[in-house]
């Protein structure tokens, strides 16, 4: 009889053991530029294109995880730009994580911290991709790796930031008609203070008293200006004021907070958990904006939420105009928090002319749905990614 022909052994990537081999094979970072549906103004910049760094983490088992870093018009909101994020990931973070087990989240965060100081957006994008890759390998949502969901949808705020009150009123009414958003954040500080107040008065008159208005000054006012303008904001029924004075002026922010009935939202004044504990101790505000670009990762974001709540500070799900990828990473964390008093402002996917994924996040009945599916629950649209990828030699 002829000798039996042995069946070929499965390759490592095909076997059960191979699927459990979650060592990091490579990390790639790509700069993308996504046009927005309208200009978006802040006190120190305005954008018509949103910059992203798309991160892909490839594992030995063949699974690829995706993450995203977002900036606003370069190193203006914080020190990172898409160029610096890409460079830090490729030159420092990727080598530090080479051949490491992707599931060792804490150990990998320590490795990234040793490889680069701060650079929080870069670290958060990589860690998001790690959670996505591990979740895809285990067929689990990222939220399951973070303790499990307590909610599957989150109230979502829309930002009004064109500076044209007529256009903004029409925009807000359309969001209400579509039942997508009923709470609105108005960007202030890029116009004169009196013009800001007139704009708010126009919006309040046009939207009625039942609509919740939040204002974001983006550090543009002085303490004296706050004391002059806050009574007008109180009269207009403003629900929350975000970062009215420069982040470094913590004593001024604490004094301002003590002299208004409107709660202050701490944002740029606290990136690290040490900074958060400090501003909380100084009573700089009573609400904290949670952002991956400040905390540097999903694990640190959960820790920030715990620190804020230990001081009696309420939680607000902040954003930096992320696409559905970055928003999904935030949702993975937000869905696991016992409390999220102010909901989320992750409207970023809807301000883009086109999202980066095949099936964007769902907005319905004034809420954003936490994505289902393994990892972050997002699938790239490769044609869109190729179209938005920055071409070699362009700036």
Mean pLDDT score of the chain, rounded to an integer?
93
Q: Which domains does the chain have, with CATH numbers?
A: 16-139+383-388 (3.30.390.10), 145-375 (3.20.20.120)
How far is 213 from 204, CA to CA, in rounded Å?
A: 8
CA-only gyration radius of the chain, Å: 22
Selection from 263, 195, 188 nearest residue 221 by Cα: 188
* 242 catalytic residue (yes or no): no
Active-site choice (123, 175, 187, 384): 187
Q: What is the DSSP string of 331-372?
A: HHHHTT-S--TT-B---HHHHBSS-SBSSPPPEETTEEEPPP
**What's residue 4's pLDDT?**
40
- Work out the pLDDT band at 48, boundaries 50, 70, 90: confident
* Distances in whole angstroms, Cα of residue 156 to Cα of each of 98, 235, 291, 327, 342: 37, 25, 15, 11, 9
Mean pLDDT of 339-353: 95
- List pLDDT tens digits, range 181-202: 999 999 999 899 999 999 999 9
Residue 16: Cβ-neighbour burial (10 angstroms; 0-12, 13-18, 19+): exposed
| 3-class DSSP assignment, residue 74 | coil
**What's residue 37's pLDDT?**
84
Count CB neighbours of 174 within 10 A. 11
**What's residue 73's pLDDT?**
78
Cβ atoms of 244 and 287 closer than 8 Å:
no
**What's residue 78's pLDDT?**
87
| 3-class DSSP assignment, residue 143 | helix
Selection from 220, 267, 221 nearest residue 240 by Cα: 267
| 3-state secondary structure labels for all residues of 225-241 | HHHHHHHHHHHCCCCEE
How far is 8 from 295, CA to CA, in rounded Å?
A: 48
DSSP secondary structure letter of residue 89: I
How far is 5 from 204, CA to CA, in rounded Å?
A: 80
Contacts of 251 (CB under 8 A, 6+ apart): 282
**What's residue 3's pLDDT?**
40
- List pLDDT tens digits, range 243-281: 999 999 999 999 999 999 999 999 999 999 999 999 999
**What's residue 17's pLDDT?**
56
Active-site choice (168, 345, 367, 384): 345
- Work out the pLDDT band at 46, boundaries 50, 70, 90: confident
Q: Between these two residues, 109 and 76, which has the higher pLDDT value?
A: 109
Q: Name the pTM for this structure.
A: 0.92
**pLDDT(125) > 60:** yes
**What's residue 20's pLDDT?**
78
The structure tokens listed for 205 are: 């008159």
Mean pLDDT of 322-351: 97
> For the chain, what percent of residues have pLDDT higher than 90?
86
**What's residue 16's pLDDT?**
56
**What's residue 44's pLDDT?**
66
**pLDDT(39) > 80:** no
- The 10 Å CB-count burial string (b at 16+, else e) for 200-221 is beebbeebeeebbbbbbbbbbb
**What's residue 43's pLDDT?**
65
**Which range, of 17-26, 50-59, 217-226, averages the lowest pLDDT?**
17-26
Side-chain half-sphere CA neighbours of 305 within 13 A: 24
The angle, 0 to 180 degrees and rounded to 10, between the axes of the packed helices 105-115 and 298-310 is 90
Mean pLDDT of 343-371: 95
**Which range, of 115-119, 161-165, 303-307, averages the lowest pLDDT?**
161-165
**pLDDT(2) > 60:** no
| 3-state secondary structure labels for all residues of 330-342 | HHHHHCCCCCCCC
Ramachandran angles phi, psi of 374, nearest 5°: -70, 155
Number of residues that this document lists for the chain:
395
* 174 catalytic residue (yes or no): no
Cβ atoms of 215 and 240 closer than 8 Å:
yes
The structure tokens listed for 156 are: 């979502």
- List pLDDT tens digits, range 5-18: 333 444 444 455 55
**Dihedral over Cα of 325, 69, 154, 303: its sign:** positive
């Amino acid at each position: 009889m002829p000798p039996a022909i042995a069946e070929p052994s499965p390759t490592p990537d095909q076997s059960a053991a191979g699927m459990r081999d979650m060592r990091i094979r490579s990390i790639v970072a790509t700069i993308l530029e996504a046009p927005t549906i309208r200009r978006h103004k802040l006190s120190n910049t305005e954008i018509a294109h949103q910059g992203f760094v798309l991160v892909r983490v490839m594992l030995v088992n063949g699974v690829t995880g995706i993450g995203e870093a977002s900036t606003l018009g370069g190193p203006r909101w914080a020190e990172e730009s898409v160029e610096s994020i890409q460079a830090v990931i490729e030159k420092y973070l990727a080598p530090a994580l080479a051949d490491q087990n992707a599931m060792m989240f804490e150990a990998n965060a320590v490795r990234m911290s040793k490889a680069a100081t701060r650079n929080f957006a870069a670290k958060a994008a990589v860690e998001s991709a790690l959670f996505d890759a591990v979740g895809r390998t285990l067929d689990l949502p990222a939220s399951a790796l973070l303790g499990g969901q307590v909610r599957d949808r989150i109230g979502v705020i829309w930002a009004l930031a064109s500076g044209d009150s007529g256009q903004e009123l029409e925009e807000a009414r359309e969001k209400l008609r579509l039942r997508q958003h009923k709470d609105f954040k108005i960007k202030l500080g890029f116009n004169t203070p009196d013009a800001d107040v007139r704009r708010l008065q126009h919006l309040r008159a046009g939207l009625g008293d039942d609509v919740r208005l939040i204002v974001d000054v983006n550090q543009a006012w002085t303490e004296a200006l706050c004391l002059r303008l806050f009574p007008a904001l109180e009269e207009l029924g403003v629900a929350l004021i975000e970062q009215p004075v420069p982040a470094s002026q913590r004593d001024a922010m604490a004094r301002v907070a003590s002299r208004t009935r409107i709660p202050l939202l701490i944002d740029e004044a606290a990136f690290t958990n040490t900074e958060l504990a400090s501003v909380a101790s100084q009573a700089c505000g009573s609400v904290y904006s949670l952002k991956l670009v400040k905390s540097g990762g999903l694990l640190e974001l959960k820790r920030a939420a715990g620190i804020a709540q230990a001081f009696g500070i309420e939680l607000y799900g902040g954003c930096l105009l992320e696409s559905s990828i970055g928003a999904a990473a935030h949702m993975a964390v937000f869905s696991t928090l016992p409390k999220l008093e102010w909901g989320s402002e992750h409207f970023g996917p809807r301000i883009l002319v086109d999202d980066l994924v095949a099936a964007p996040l769902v907005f319905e009945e004034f809420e954003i749905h936490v994505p289902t599916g393994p990892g972050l629950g997002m699938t790239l649209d490769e044609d869109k990614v190729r179209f938005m990828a920055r071409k070699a030699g362009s700036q």
